[in-house]
Amino acid sequence: MEFSVKSGSPEKQRSACIVVGVFEPRRLSGVAEQLDQVSDGYLSGLLRRGDLEGKAGQMLLLHHVPNILSERVLLVGCGKERELDERQYKQIIEKTIHTLNETGSMEAVCFLSELHVKGRDTYWKVRQAVEAAQAGLYTFNQLKTRKEEPRRPLRKLVFNVPTRRELPIGERAIQHGLAISKGVNICRDVANMPPNICTPRYLAEQSQALADNYENVTFTAVDEKQMAELGMNAYLAVGRGSEHESVLSLIHYQGADADTPPIVLVGKGLTFDAGGISIKPAANMDEMKYDMGGAASVLGAMQALAELQLPINVIGAIAGCENMPDGKAYRPGDVLTTMSGQTVEVLNTDAEGRLVLCDTLTYIERFAPEAVVDVATLTGACIVALGHHASGLMSTHNPLAHELLNASEQSGDRAWRLPLWDEYQEALDSPFADMQNLGGRDAGTITAACFLSRFTKKYHWAHLDIAGTAWRSGAKKGATGRPVPMLTQFLLNRADHGQHD
């Protein structure tokens, strides 16, 4: 879909549709009042008759409004004016896009970007509108034989900004919003792919395809033979029960001088997680195709970064693997020697993500990273702690944690920080090895991060547990594309402010 910005009066717009807001109770927004004056009170007359109350999400599509050049006017309920917040704004935009798409308006001029949203500026409102619009139009129908498409879908949306001075701000917001949406859609597409298609090798192919499209992006891979030579025995153990070979895919983006230390994004890429010998319950096991949500989000963030061409160096490390029960599979009771030399006693083969990640976190030391953020659907405990609204954030470096929290607030892709105190480390004590791969029932999200922290001593590191945010269950089951917006915002901020201490 095509997006643009302009600054103009609503009554002068020649369009298939003009979109304006109405507040509770039956109160026209400033822009709607302008239309009302030109139409000799037509809109206020409708409100007096009770056609629209103005509750958030209500829609009223009008045809042939007197003295208005546009074919249609869409009145959008925005709730109480003083209570319009970020969440409600995004919901209103998404509902508006859906209505326009269903009612034959192939283009529209939207004045909702002029609404006052508490604490948010024009850049935020336009960018969030682009992202919400793209998210609302997303479909995953590649594997369906009958594809239902709207007969006259929305193709062009123009956002109005209050003054001409804000046009460059609006254009920048659209550019950023489109790049992030492209990354989110890539993330959702890859995550939604079934595990018989989306294998570790498929993740490598998608990474290669991204590199093929941009001059300053290159691709390398570490296969099982190389992993064995490097001593990545924890990573290899997890994949032993699968017929699909494990592959560590590396996407190298160079936007700065070659000697500038890179930021490294690490994604857990369990393309299917049966739990291994510690097999999972059958109910909802199909959703374990989403255990590569971290890898999909790193791929999406690298896509957005390549679109934005930011002046930084970034490496995306996608740790592809599959965890299956088999005669060759690793067992509870095994002791593994990791690439770092530290030994791990396996208590549960379903705590496999940390074993794949620990060797990957050791491998990336060779890049002397400026900062490392790993992203993983790591623990069900994170869903118990935070539900499906916030990703869990843990870090051994306060400035990096604050950067990510700030990016999460700016992007609306929320995270919440959990502690990583030394007291939690004791839960990993093992009588037979340096540590065990499970910390028990209590504080499972934190003890999983404690495990990873033992492999990150040589750089600034943060961990995002996205088990609750990477996908939705139920009737609208599917990948969300999170935390691509947060990761991209983090990279945008890094590019804007230069390197951080």
The pLDDT assigned to 150 comes to 65
The pLDDT assigned to 485 comes to 97
Higher-pLDDT residue of 24, 289: 289
Q: Is residue 92 pLDDT above 90, yes or no? A: yes
The pLDDT assigned to 351 comes to 97
| Cβ atoms within 10 Å, residue 501 | 4
Residues 6+ apart with CB under 8 A from 420: 394, 395, 396, 446, 449, 450, 453
| Cβ atoms within 10 Å, residue 218 | 15
Q: pLDDT digit string (tens) for 329-386? A: 999 999 999 999 999 999 999 999 999 999 999 999 999 999 999 999 999 999 999 9
175 near 130, Cβ under 8 Å?
no
The pLDDT assigned to 500 comes to 39
- Please give the average per-residue pLDDT across 251-272, as a whole number: 97
Residue 195 and residue 290: Cα distance in Å, rounded? 9
| Tokens of residue 119, six digits | 């604490």
Produce one character per residue of 144-180: b if its CB has 16 or more CB atoms within 10 Å, e if not.
Answer: eeeeeeeeeebeebbbbbeeeebeebbeebbebbbbb
- In the chain, the percentage of residues whose pLDDT exceeds 70 is 99
Q: Is residue 267 pLDDT above 70, yes or no? A: yes
Q: Is residue 103 pLDDT above 60, yes or no? A: yes
pLDDT band at 151 (very low <50, low <70, confident <90, very high): low
| Tokens of residue 51, six digits | 């056609």
pTM over 0.85: yes
Q: Mean pLDDT across the chain, nearest whole number?
A: 94
Higher-pLDDT residue of 469, 53: 469
- In the chain, the percentage of residues whose pLDDT exceeds 90 is 85
Structural domains of the chain in order of their starting residue, each with its CATH number: 2-162 (3.40.220.10), 180-496 (3.40.630.10)
pLDDT band at 236 (very low <50, low <70, confident <90, very high): very high
| Tokens of residue 13, six digits | 């717009």
Q: Is residue 83 pLDDT above 80, yes or no? A: yes
Residue set of the binding site = 268, 273, 291, 350, 352
Q: Is residue 302 pLDDT above 50, yes or no? A: yes
pLDDT band at 388 (very low <50, low <70, confident <90, very high): very high
316 near 262, Cβ under 8 Å?
no
Q: Is residue 274 pLDDT above 80, yes or no? A: yes
The pLDDT assigned to 423 comes to 97
The pLDDT assigned to 9 comes to 81
Q: pLDDT digit string (tens) for 202-234? A: 999 999 999 999 999 999 999 999 999 999 999
Q: Out of 55, 156, 280, 472, pick the active-site residue.
A: 280
The pLDDT assigned to 501 comes to 35
User: Which of the residue ranges 41-45, 235-239, 321-325 would you say has the lowest mean pLDDT?
Assistant: 41-45
Q: Is residue 88 pLDDT above 60, yes or no? A: yes
Residue set of the binding site for Mn(2+) = 268, 273, 291, 350, 352
Q: Out of 125, 289, 354, 494, pick the active-site residue.
A: 354
Q: Is residue 499 pLDDT above 60, yes or no? A: no
Q: pLDDT digit string (tens) for 8-34? A: 887 777 888 999 999 999 999 999 999
Please confirm, yes or no, whether 280 is among the known catalytic residues.
yes
pLDDT band at 152 (very low <50, low <70, confident <90, very high): confident
Q: Is residue 497 pLDDT above 80, yes or no? A: no
DSSP 258: T
Q: What are phi and psi of 343, to 5 degrees?
A: -105, 145
CA 115 to chain centre: 26
| Tokens of residue 259, six digits | 């000697």
Residue type, 58: Q
The pLDDT assigned to 350 comes to 97
